[in-house]
Amino acid sequence: MIDIVGIIAADFLNIILITLGGILIALGVHLVPVGGAPAAMAQATGVGTGTVQLAAGAGLTGLVTAGFMMNVTDSLGLILASGTVGAMIMISVTMLVGQWMYVYGVGCPPASAKVKYDPITKDRQDLYVSQGTEGHGIPTASFISGVIGAGLGGLGGSLIYFSLLSIENGLPEADFIGIASIFAIGLFFVNAVIPSYNIGGTIEGFHDPKFKRFPKAVLASFVATFLAAIMGVVAIGGM
């Protein structure tokens, strides 16, 4: 029988780090400009797909880049930086190509309907919003917000992955890496969906009024990730 209390006591730091990673992912999702189905028809600002797809795309790239860095070094800082930058590159490419579609394909200027002036470039927004739409394309503020959000998501994902791989256990290395990575992916999906319920599916970035709701998602994600982290640490630590 597994000594559950002993494992939790020995790996308590890892449980805390996994929970922190989950909170970072939940916070990061609030910053990514998610437009959902309306944005796919250029009727809302943001990338035209759901939160889960965007967050998972960026976050899983972060996991891959973090795992690649883990091949060559044990340094926590380098691994986290690699995961963060990988996720940032992924979301930047997604938003850039999406932007080309909106500008050259649909033929609409990037504009936000939530603010009158772009908080970063100070450009006027409301004149360029087509009638009957909630904005279109990805304005500068949303783009920068998305890069920051994906960075937080990648940081959280690689922190979870690194913490899971720090747990002492008797598994062969290949099995251990497989279990830790699929576990990190499971946690990533849970923490991408919880904030997407909080923002109701669409958000433009940090300048969107919905961004102020993030403490609720952080609290929800804290509880859910903490519970899952205990189960993960017990399962992996008991092997």
Partner 1 sequence: MSAGGGGGGAHAAIPQNNIIAFGVVGGLVGIYAAYFLVDMVGPYMSFLGALGAICGIVWGAAAVRRVANYGLGTGVPSIGMLALGIGIIAATFGLAVGGIAGPVVALVFAALIGLVVGILANKVLNMGIPIMVQSMTEIAAAGAITIVGLSTSMIGTFMFFDEVVNGVVVTQGVASGVMTTGYIAVIFIAGGLAILHPYNANLGPDEKQDRTLACAFEKGAIAMIIAGIVATITPFASGSLTILIGVAIWYISFSGFYKRVKRDAFKVTGTGLLPSKEELE
Chain residues in the site for partner 1 (CB under 8 A): 2, 36-37, 50-53, 56, 171-172, 174-175, 177-179, 182-183, 185-190, 192-194, 196-198, 200-201, 216-217, 219-220, 223-224, 227-228, 231-232, 234-236, 238-239
Closest distance between partner 1 and the C-beta of residue 30, in Å?
A: 12
Q: Which residue, 141 or 217, is less far from partner 1 as judged by CB?
A: 217
The amino acid at 28: G
Q: Which residue, 60 or 89, is less far from partner 1 as judged by CB?
A: 60
Q: Which residue, 115 or 239, is less far from partner 1 as judged by CB?
A: 239
Closest distance between partner 1 and the C-beta of residue 128, in Å?
A: 27
Structure tokens at 132: 């009957």
The amino acid at 175: D
DSSP string for residues in 21-39: HHHHHHHHHHHS-B-HHHH
**Counting Cβ atoms within 10 Å, is residue 5 exposed (0-12), middle (13-18) or buried (19+)?**
exposed
The residue count of the chain comes to 239
Beta bridge partners of 136: 111
Q: Return d(Cα 92, Cα 16) in angstroms, integer.
A: 30
Closest distance between partner 1 and the C-beta of residue 188, in Å?
A: 7
Q: Return d(Cα 20, Cα 34) in angstroms, integer.
A: 23
Structure tokens at 101: 């579609």
Q: Which residue, 78 or 190, is less far from partner 1 as judged by CB?
A: 190
Closest distance between partner 1 and the C-beta of residue 200, in Å?
A: 4
Closest distance between partner 1 and the C-beta of residue 220, in Å?
A: 4
Q: Which residue, 58 or 81, is less far from partner 1 as judged by CB?
A: 58
Q: Return d(Cα 145, Cα 138) in angstroms, integer.
A: 10
Strand, helix or coil for residue 135: strand
Closest distance between partner 1 and the C-beta of residue 32, in Å?
A: 13
Q: Return d(Cα 235, Cα 231) in angstroms, integer.
A: 6
Q: Return d(Cα 129, Cα 136) in angstroms, integer.
A: 7
Q: Which residue, 117 or 211, is less far from partner 1 as judged by CB?
A: 211
